[in-house]
Amino acid sequence: MALACGCLSPCLAAEETASAFLRIVSVPDGRCHILSEGGELTVLHNDDPSRTIRYRLVRLFVDRPQGLMDGEIPPGPVPVKLGCSKVGGRAQTWQVKRADFAQE
């Protein structure tokens, strides 16, 4: 992982802080339920009150990494839609690989 600052500790501390404001949750969704019974829509929230967060997520399908997703999420109530929690009856999840506060 490339670091944008000169020393390791402050960079890691900043990354951990940004990650702490990201929240991945599943919410009821008709389309996901039709796709796979019991499926819900997985979304990403930024709970920081004022800062945009740049993130990289890894998508896991049946506990196996399937790909990476990069993006930015502004503060506020509007989540980023990630996908359905079940596909073909099998679990699909996302994990935060890294996150940092966007430079404004």
- pTM of the entire predicted model: 0.82
Show the 3-state SS of 20-32: HCEEEEEEECHHH
Is 14's pLDDT higher than 90? no
- Residue 7: phi and psi, rounded to 5, are -130, 160
The predicted-structure confidence for 52-100, as pLDDT tens digits, reads as follows 999 999 999 999 999 999 999 999 999 999 999 999 999 999 999 999 9
Q: How far apart are CA 90 and CA 48, in angstroms?
A: 32
For residue 31, what pLDDT is reported?
96
What pLDDT was estimated at residue 8? 45
Per DSSP, the three-state class of 98 is strand
